[in-house]
Structure 1
Amino acid sequence: MIAMQEELNQFERSEIWELVPRPQNQSVIGTRWVFRNKMDENDIIISNKARLVAQGFNQEEGRDYEETFAPVARLETIRMLLAFAYFKDFVLYQMDVKSAFLNGFINEEVYVEQPPSFQSFNFPNHVFKLKKALYGLKQAPKD
């Protein structure tokens, strides 16, 4: 439960969505929790991870989305960056960004169900209108 609450707190800080009344003429995508245990080198659980994902497999091309986009760097681009950094004597740092994918805004109107076990007490029939991408969607930010 703590891992799920941390994920939702991250969404709130990042302003991923807003709670709105259920639209009449728009499809609403389901959500589900994906869990993973993070282990150390001795296979001892050090933390529990929870990620809320959209059930994008229910989306239909032409109705729910027009185009897909995968935010992935090509290997050639990474090699060019490394070569340029070496040539210019730049110092590069590696970092793990927990929610880099979620930082870009999406242009389409996308609605998702409230997370299982975390429905609003005051508005149980409302849905979330996404402002930013959520894992599992066919849509992705392009910026």
Structure 2
Amino acid sequence: MRLPVSLIALLAVSIPAFAATPLETVAQFHAALAAGQSDQASALLSPGIQIYESGYVERSREQYTGHHLKSDIEFAKATKNKVLKQSERTEGKLAVVMQETETTGTFKGKPVHLFGTETALLEQQDNNWVIVHIHWSSRKAK
């Protein structure tokens, strides 16, 4: 039996929060944001995560979920994010995932066309990968 793509996508963000690889964990985090699943996205973050973006720092999962997560979900739901290039490097219980992305769409009535970079540091905890640091940066497309 073949399942429609939309049902497969829904199932993908409805499964338990932890993925087998760091790259899958980062992809699942972004899928949860785009699906508006804040609990799913939050479960993939370490309680002590630090998120750097545009010179600002959020110093814990609690701070991020209480402050910035809602707006990240709104933005991810309104736009399309395409991964242009990505790499993963794992050394023991630490891994880094680096991505270059292109984001398009309309947000709050304004067109969006951005190129972005993301560096995510992950740690393996109890056979699950969790994100302990994210650094986001973007620029407008010319």
Task: Give the TM bin, normalised by the shorter chain.
Answer: under 0.3
**Which is bigger in relative contact order (C-alpha 8 A, separation at least 6)?**
1
Report the TM-score, using the length of structure 1 for normalisation. 0.25
Report the TM-score, using the length of structure 2 for normalisation. 0.25
Q: Which has the higher helix share?
A: 2
